């Protein structure tokens, strides 16, 4: 299988960290692709009409995207404990945390547009402040809602890779949340995170 990737995408990294944690990373050929809303990448668009990574190319089967779907698929390729719980409250808690993490990453991307990437005369300060408030609220929520005693699941992976990206991009810090920070620092030491470092700049 081929994973269309981007070394500075929190979503692509989530899929690859998941692959490492599920023990299937050796089944992937990882190919970096630069994409952005203003940079058309024909190879990625050919497989995903949204032009976004990650995309998983499977032999003899249609490509699948986005990171949520890729992680769910990768979880079917191993016989160990599933990282996406299949039944009960554990499933909904994992999916809830994944959803919050995905929204946090999307909000961070939107904040970067309003503070760095959009031409300065087109930036909307009130919108940027709204994004900052959402980010801070999500940090507060995660500080209280994170179940750090639960077995590793997809929500943990999504949250860790998002927090790492927020720090990488110098977005509002979560460092004042002591419990969340301790959990994140421990997660960063996992082999899956060390094997998938963030790097590179956005190209528009």
- How far apart, in whole angstroms, are the C-alpha atoms of residue 146 and residue 161? 15
In 131-167, which positions are buried (b, 16+ CB within 10 angstroms) versus exposed (e)? bbebbeebbeebbeebeeeeeebbbbbbbbbbbbbbe
Average pLDDT rounded to a whole number, residues 58-73: 98
The tokens of 13 are what?
Answer: 């990294």
CB atoms near residue 113 (< 10 Å): 16
92 and 16 within one domain: no
pLDDT at 203: 84
181 and 95 within one domain: yes
107 and 50 within one domain: no
Average pLDDT rounded to a whole number, residues 25-45: 95
| CATH number for the domain harbouring residue 28 | 3.40.30.10
pLDDT, tens only, 138-186: 999 999 999 988 999 999 999 999 999 999 999 999 999 999 999 999 9
93 and 55 within one domain: no
| CATH number for the domain harbouring residue 94 | 1.20.1050.10
Q: In which domain, by residue range, is 103 found? A: 88-194
Domain final residue pick, 11, 41, 74: 74
The tokens of 30 are what?
Answer: 């990882």
Q: For the chain, how big is the Rg over CA atoms in Å?
A: 17
- How far apart, in whole angstroms, are the C-alpha atoms of residue 121 and residue 134? 24
pLDDT confidence band for 204 (50 / 70 / 90): confident
């Amino acid at each position: 299988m081929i994973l269309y990737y981007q070394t500075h995408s929190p979503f692509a990294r989530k899929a690859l960290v998941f692959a490492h944690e599920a023990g299937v990373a050796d089944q992937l050929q990882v190919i970096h692709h630069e994409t952005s809303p203003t940079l058309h990448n024909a190879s990625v668009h050919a497989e995903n009409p949204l032009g976004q990574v990650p995309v998983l190319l499977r032999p003899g089967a249609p490509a699948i995207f986005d990171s949520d779907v890729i992680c769910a698929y990768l979880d079917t390729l191993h016989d160990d404990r599933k990282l996406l719980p299949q039944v009960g409250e554990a499933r909904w808690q994992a999916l809830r945390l994944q959803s919050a993490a995905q929204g946090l990453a999307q909000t961070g991307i939107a904040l970067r547009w309003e503070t760095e990437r959009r031409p300065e005369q087109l930036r909307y300060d009130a919108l940027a402040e709204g994004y900052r408030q959402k980010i801070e609220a999500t940090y507060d929520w995660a500080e209280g809602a994170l179940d750090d005693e639960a077995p590793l699941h997809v929500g943990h992976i999504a949250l860790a890779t998002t927090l790492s990206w927020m720090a990488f991009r110098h977005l509002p810090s979560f460092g004042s949340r002591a419990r969340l920070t301790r959990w994140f620092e421990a997660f960063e030491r996992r082999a899956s995170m060390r094997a998938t470092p963030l790097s590179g700049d956005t190209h528009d």
